[in-house]
Amino acid sequence: MRSGWFFNTPMWAEYLQEYAKSRPECLHEFRSSPLAKDQDLREALESKEWVVECHQSQVIDLATHKWSDVRKSYHSLIHRAQERCEINEEPTIREFKLVHRCAFGTVRNDRTFEIQGSWMPEHAMAVAAVNAKPELSAAALWIIYQGSAYYGSAPSVEKNILHAVIWESLKRLKARGVQLVDMGQVDGATEKEKNIGTFKAGFGGELRPFLIAKRKL
């Protein structure tokens, strides 16, 4: 079964095997991608061993994306964050891990971050915000592959900073020649997932469908 795009590469398989040490159920889940041209989940669709769900992702075309596409309520938040913080491209994976651990705790082992670090700079980009103290406030990690990018993870330990990190990320991805950006699922089931979806949708773009297939255990 192929899930398409970067999620069908040996690089992703290596990361997934390591990530499964803390979340083993991920090895029984496949997802298609609105960025993929070769996705094939027919095995899951035709099998009673799998449950297939259709979801929505927010995809931004950077060729046409502009400031006015960003939700108006984000504009002042971005400006204030830019005044309070320095937005840095390409922090080390160690810096990204520090923000991730502060925000989420030890939900992933060190090796998962090392693998993501090995993707840089060709297949990943990190952007971080440093405040005046100075200390890391927020960061975002993007997977880059075949001229497109995927919003991988964006931990934050300070309110209303991540908006600026995402906005700066989109500009820098465009400068690197990326055209399509998959912001990820926006139609989650829980209240937290819905809030994350609302946040992502605020940067503009359009909804595109993708599939999640989960093996019945």
Dist CA 4 CA 24 (whole Å):
21
pLDDT in tens, 75-123: 999 999 999 999 987 778 989 999 999 999 999 999 999 999 999 999 9
What is the pLDDT, as a whole number, of residue 58? Answer: 96
What is the pLDDT, as a whole number, of residue 41? Answer: 62
Could you tell me which residue, 132 or 130, shows the higher pLDDT? Answer: 130
pLDDT at 159 exceeding the cut of 50: yes
What class is the 5-215 domain? alpha beta
Q: Is 73 exposed, middle or buried (0-12, 13-18, 19+ CB in 10 A)?
A: exposed
Dist CA 20 CA 22 (whole Å):
5
Q: What percent of the chain has pLDDT over 70?
A: 94
Model confidence at 24, in pLDDT bands (50, 70, 90)? very high
What is the pLDDT, as a whole number, of residue 42? Answer: 65
Model confidence at 1, in pLDDT bands (50, 70, 90)? very low
CA distances from 10 to 5, 87, 133 (A): 11, 31, 40
